[in-house]
Chain A
Amino acid sequence: MGSVLSTRAKVWWAVITVVVLVGALFPVVSIFMTSFKASSDINSGTFLPPRWSTENYEQILASGGSAQELFLSALRNSIGISLIATVIAVVLATLCAYAIARLDFPGKRLILTTALGVSIFPVVSIVTPLFNLWRNIGLYDTWPGLIIPYLSLTLPISIWTLAAFFRQIPWELEQAAQVDGATPWQAFRKAIVPLAAPGVFTTALIAFFIAWNDFVYGISLTSTSAARPVPAALAFFTGASYFEEPTGAISAAAVVVTIPVVVLVVLFQRQIVSGLTQGAVKG
């Protein structure tokens, strides 16, 4: 493989990159711009807001804003439910992946295949039975009622990423630490955990985003602000009057819920890039 690209190839790559970038970022930027438009300018048809206004943000965040109640409770639900689902998924997946990477036991492949099967199972097909079941056993419109289905989304992918990550850890280090005078627990904590941490962290981020972004479960298994997460709550925004579309408020809410995701990725970019195991063994 030649490492130097020809000029022609470079041009093509540049074109493709620009197209992909514009395709991916245009909607985001557009929503961002819309969120700063005053309600009277929503239909102005311009990309940039004719007049920058924080009206929409006041509506969802400031006390007395028309959608404030709806949005803030939804935000609380989203954060709480996603965090709990993430923590449970990561703890369980860590134990599971550790066993898969380290031990030889019957049914190892079965676990991985099952996890894969669960993760590709279409969400839409379970939602209706789940709706009936949840109503009968009293989980409908509660936090656990969302956390449990979220686990079905986050667990499989956590198990897969962590198992792949754990397989790369040179377990010889654990033995080396034991020879160096560590107890098995010390060996695990001082030699393995520092290497596994970036992988666990990355997995937690991915799991969190999956739970955070869910819409189908969120809208189907909740009915009040007791458990409704942000993506579902956006659909219940109302305009200032019956004839006014709540486009601006929805855009502002979308921007607000995107910010944590962006911040997390920017902050932990380095940890996500897990070049840490290099050099442990022959490079």
Chain B
Amino acid sequence: MASITLKDIVKRYGDGFLAVDRVNLDIADGEFVILVGPSGSGKSTVLRMIVGLEDITSGDLEIDGVRVNEKAPRERDLAMVFQNYALYPHLTVAENIAFPLRLAKGKHSEEEIREKIEHAADMLDLREHLDRKPANLSGGQRQRVAMGRAIVRDAKAFLFDEPLSNLDAKLRGQTRTEIARLQRRLGTTTVYVTHDQTEAMTLGDRVAVLRRGVLQQVASPRGLYEQPVNLFVAGFIGTPPMNFLPGEVKDGRITLPFGEFDMPESITKAVGDRGLVIVGLRPEHFEDARLVDPSKKDRGHTFEAQIDVTEWLGAELYAYVPFDMHESVKGQLEELDRELDGEGLRTQFVVALDSASRVRDGDTTDLWFDPTKMMIFDPETSENLTRDEDEAARIEEENAEDRKRSLERAQKQDAQV
């Protein structure tokens, strides 16, 4: 187990392409950190630099306080699970798992190796497959063998490179919880790369969001969700994604595509003397006006909207409302959409309503929203003007406490078994 520290890590390829630009990241001992970002954000490159498969152009990589930039992968003592699993096809499952142990010649007796294989196999439910070849396993089983190979040798840290992207949706959910449980039980430092923000939110103690090789924000999932630093993070985290609307400010009132409203004090302060801002509103901060609790109805604003399409999902209902995009922020929001791997087909916003709502396609209905939930972004710098540093710090503190508690609990339970 070990801490991993990245100091001003830069990766520039031979052709001059800057893949990773001055990334700083402190990964504490036993922590589960996610590197997340859309394709081309440099997250896999960072991981491969940590494990030593990619040279570091400049900066320092430290494991347990020791600089390892020049060390070969085998000297770093890290275990990695590859996206394609990279199992050795000519070896059985047992031998695949034993591979790292056999390489460390003389370190383990035959007896010990067998014990370790069986222990890993039990943990991953692979016992009856030990004598099979990888070719005869299902995708999920192969994935577990790859994990077995990683956990069998007590490495300093686990590195995962999009380990679930080759699994189907159902298996992905199961394996995700499996990885979370395993990590908590073993308490091993883990770095996990994914482009899937659901994985990032559910697995990580902390999540590092990357965009074009630049680290945007490192925070707990809740911190990213509630206190994003900029448009990019706000748009990347959350499903369905946050709605970005142009907001024109005049005399303490803000004009959104669906109406003109008074601004709460906190928002007024954040806006300052700007005439035009980008307003971020999460789908779940809207509600069907008819279903809003009367006690809180007065706190928000009600407006009339023309619903285009609805999606009823059982637990909630998504309704899509088209609107006209303000010319001056159109370019920026389209660019953001492209970066988030979107297609930007039409400008519309999504609202997540109570599933009891009877709003259907084509209806004109009254929607309600809470203006204090608005996030205000600077249209030029895309910085989040409503971010509350104190609140963000408090969330991180809470998160660290929760994490510590659950780790202790998991290990205590493990000790009892």
B-binding residues in A (CB < 8 A) = 170, 172-173, 175-184, 186, 190-191, 194-195, 275-283
Contacts of A186 in B (CB 8 A): 103
Q: Is B30 an interface residue (CB 8 A)?
A: no
Closest to A182 in B: B103
Quick check: A173 and B78 within 8 Å, CB to CB?
A: no
A198 to chain B, nearest CB (A): 10
Cross-chain contact B103 with A281 (CB below 8 angstroms) = no
Residues of B within 8 A of A (CB): 51-53, 72-74, 77-80, 82, 84-90, 99-100, 103-104, 133-137, 139, 142, 149, 153, 166
Can you list 5 A-B contacts (CB < 8 A)?
A190-B88, A276-B89, A279-B87, A279-B136, A281-B86
By the criterion CB–CB under 8 Å, are B88 and A282 in contact?
no
Residue numbers in A under 8 Å from B149 (CB-CB): 180
User: How far, in Å, is B400 (CB) from chain A's closest CB?
Assistant: 30
A180–B149 Cα distance when bound, in Å, is 8
A280–B78 CA distance with the chains assembled, in angstroms: 21
- Asked if residues A279 and B135 are in contact (CB atoms below 8 Å), the reply is yes
B99 surroundings in chain A (CB, below 8 A) = 177, 180, 190
A194 partner residues in chain B, CB cutoff 8 A: 88, 90
For the A-B complex, the count of residue pairs with Cβ-Cβ distances under 8 Å equals 89
Residue of B nearest to A198 (CB): B90
From A183, A190, A276, A283, give the contact of B74 (CB < 8 A).
Answer: A183
Known: A181-B104, A182-B103, A276-B90. A281 touches B74 (CB 8 A): no
Are B53 and A178 within 8 A (Cβ)?
Answer: yes
Task: Evaluate whether A280 and B87 lie within 8 angstroms (CB atoms) in the complex, with A178-B53, A180-B100, A181-B103 already known.
Answer: yes
Q: Are A191 and B103 in contact (CB under 8 A)?
A: no
* A182 smallest CB distance to B (angstroms): 5
A281 touches B133 (CB 8 A): no
Q: Cβ of A280 and Cβ of B88 under 8 Å apart?
A: yes
Smallest beta-carbon distance B61→chain A, Å: 15
Q: Is B84 in contact with A179, judged by CB distance below 8 angstroms?
A: no
Kindly list chain A residues whose C-beta atoms are within 8 Å of the C-beta of B136: 279
| A190 to B74 CA separation, bound complex (whole angstroms) | 15
Other CB < 8 Å A-B pairs besides A181-B74, A186-B103, A279-B87, 8 of them?
A173-B86, A177-B88, A178-B74, A179-B78, A180-B79, A180-B99, A181-B77, A281-B84
Residue of B nearest to A282 (CB): B166
The answer to whether A179 and B85 touch across the interface, beta carbons within 8 angstroms, is: no
CB proximity of A172 to chain B, nearest CB, Å: 4
Q: Which residues of B sit under 8 angstroms from A281, Cβ to Cβ?
A: 84-86
- When A180-B103, A283-B135 are in contact, do A195 and B89 touch as well, CB less than 8 Å? yes
Flag if A282 contacts B85 (CB, 8 Å). Answer: yes
Q: Which residues of A contact B134 (CB under 8 A)?
A: 279-280
For the complex formed, measure the closest distance between the CB of A32 and the CB atoms of chain B, giving whole angstroms.
39
**A195 with B90: in contact, given A279-B137, A283-B139 (CB under 8 Å)?**
yes
CA distance A176 to B82 in the complex (A): 8
Report yes or no: B74 in contact with A182, Cβ–Cβ below 8 A: yes
Q: Which chain A residues border B52 with CB–CB below 8 Å?
A: 178-179
Expressed in whole angstroms, the Cα–Cα distance for A194 and B91 within the complex equals 10
Cβ of A280 and Cβ of B82 under 8 Å apart?
Answer: no
Residues of chain B within 8 A (CB-CB) of A191 are 88
A194 to B90, CA, bound (A): 7
Residues on the B chain within 8 Å of A276, using CB = 89-90
Residues from chain B with a CB closer than 8 A to the CB of A177 are 88, 99, 103
Q: Are A179's CB and B88's CB within 8 A?
A: no
* Assembly CA distance A282 to B271 (angstroms): 51
- For residue A278, give the distance in angstroms from its CB to the closest CB of chain B: 5
C-alpha spacing A193/B153, complex, angstroms: 24
Measured in the bound complex, the distance between the Cα atoms of B82 and A255 in whole Å is 53
- In the bound assembly, the distance between CA atoms of A186 and B88 in angstroms comes to 14
In the complex, the answer to whether B73 meets A179 with C-beta atoms within 8 Å is yes
**Cα–Cα distance between A100 and B4 once the two chains are bound (Å):** 37
Q: Chain A residues near B79 (CB, 8 Å)? A: 179-180
The answer to whether residues A172 and B104 also contact, given A178-B72, A179-B74 and a CB cut-off of 8 A, is no
With beta carbons under 8 angstroms apart, the residue of A179, A184, A195, A278 that contacts B51 is A179
Task: Tell which of A181, A183, A195 touches B100, judged by Cβ atoms closer than 8 Å.
Answer: A181
Is A173 within 8 A of B88, CB to CB?
Answer: yes
> Considering only CB atoms, which chain B residue lies closest to A173 in the complex?
B86
Query: Contacts A175-B53, A179-B78 hold; do A278 and B73 have CB atoms under 8 A apart?
Result: no
Query: Which listed residue, B86, B90, B153, touches A172 by the CB 8 Å rule?
Result: B86
Distance (Å) between the CB of B89 and the closest chain A CB? Answer: 4
Contacts of A184 in B (CB 8 A): 72
Task: Indicate if the CB atoms of B89 and A277 lie closer than 8 Å.
Answer: yes
- Top-7 shortest CB links A-B: A279-B135, A176-B86, A281-B84, A180-B100, A280-B89, A279-B134, A194-B90
Contact B103 A282 (CB under 8 A): no
User: Which residues of chain B are near A173, meaning CB under 8 Å?
Assistant: 86, 88
Distance (whole angstroms) from the CB of B342 to the closest CB of chain A: 26
The residues of A that contact B51 with a CB separation of less than 8 Å are: 179
Query: Bound state CA distance, A188 and B48, in angstroms?
Result: 19
Residue of B at shortest CB range from A193? Answer: B90
Residues of chain A with a CB closer than 8 A to B88's CB: 173, 176-177, 190-191, 194, 280
B84 near A282 with CB under 8 A, answer yes
Q: A179 CA to B100 CA in the complex, in Å? A: 9
Tell me the smallest distance from the CB of B13 to a CB of chain A, in Å. Answer: 13
Query: A183's closest neighbor in chain B, by CB?
Result: B74
Q: Which of B53, B82, B89 contacts A278 (CB 8 A)?
A: B89
Contact at A172–B84, with CB atoms within 8 Å?
Answer: yes
Set of chain A residues within 8 Å of B72, measured between Cβ atoms? 178, 183-184
**Nearest CB of chain B from residue A194's CB, rounded to whole Å:** 4
Query: What chain A residues lie within 8 Å of B135 (beta carbons)?
Result: 275, 278-280, 283
- Shortest Cβ distance from B320 into chain A, in angstroms? 35
A186 CA to B100 CA, complexed, in Å? 12
Can you name the residue of chain B whose Cβ is closest to the Cβ of A174?
B86
Task: Report which of B80, B90, B139 forms a contact with A176, defined as CB distance below 8 A.
Answer: B80
In the bound complex, do residue B74 and residue A172 qualify as a contact, i.e. CB atoms below 8 Å apart?
no
Q: Do A279 and B142 have beta carbons less than 8 Å apart?
A: yes
